[in-house]
Amino acid sequence: MSNKPPPPRPAPRLYLATPVVDDPAALLAELPALLASADVAAVLLRLKETDHRTMISRIKALAPLVQKAGAALLVDGHAELVARGGADGAHLPGIAALKEALPSLKPDRIAGVGGLTTRHHSMDAGEMGADYVLFGEPDAKSQRPSAQAIAERLDWWAELFEPPCVGFATSLEEAHDFALSGADFVLVGDFIWSDPRGPKAALIEADAAIKKAHATATASQNPAGSEHG
């Protein structure tokens, strides 16, 4: 057996959730500069509920712009609209939704899942073929675990399982802490869009925070001067 240390985890990347989109005009104008300013792996499109035709047109308007920037566009729910709108995948709110959506998404599109209230559910999602698991999003009553509990869940998952894990951050501090805990991606949303300096400044700061956390974690795992025999 080899005593070589495991390869370092790649630096975490941002996953940007949009505001709830009705008219996409403002987002179409703002997104290109945002996506160019930071390392955004994916955009989660949160659509205002309306008829399918209208929602598909919203996806079609935004998907090429996001994809041109090198990011993936995922639709929040509505897996049935993904292919028709040209999106890259969907984020599903729990095991039942994941199971229902997998046949329409796989193998060509991304199926991410949240709403995982127990470790058992998380492992079920991984075994079913989820492309990522999200920890820390609010439930229907806007309740969520403590930041410490979310960080512990991320650390547990990153240590044991192969599929990427995502931490749902509601502040810059959480973005840093979740990256430090082993999140592969950090989902940021409302606190980016509501920043008084504007979303670009907030997104750049969040990107720097998760990169700094990763550097700290990497340094602690491989202290200078240590010997591997």
pLDDT, average across residues 155-170: 96
Mean pLDDT in residue range 23-43: 97
User: According to the model, what pLDDT value does residue 5 have?
Assistant: 58
Residues 69-123 have pLDDT tens digits of 999 999 999 999 999 999 999 999 999 999 999 999 999 999 999 999 999 999 9
Confidence of residue 222 (pLDDT cuts 50, 70, 90): confident
**pLDDT at residue 118 in the model:** 94
Say if residue 225's pLDDT is above 70: no
Q: What value does the mean pLDDT take over residues 188-203?
A: 98
pLDDT band at 195 (very low <50, low <70, confident <90, very high): very high
69 vs 226 pLDDT, higher one: 69
Higher-pLDDT residue of 2 and 21 is 21
DSSP string for residues in the chain: ---PPPPPPPPPEEEEEEEEESS-HHHHHHHHHHHHHS-EEEEEEEEPP--HHHHHHHHHHHHHHHHHTT-EEEEES-GGGHHHHT-SEEEESSHHHHHHHHHHHTTTSEEEE----SHHHHHHHHHHT-SEEEE----TTS----HHHHHHHHHHHHHH-SS-EEEE-SSHHHHHHHHHTT-SEEEE-HHHHT-TT-HHHHHHHHHHHHHHHHHHHHHHHS-TT----
Span 9-20, pLDDT tens digits: 789 999 999 999
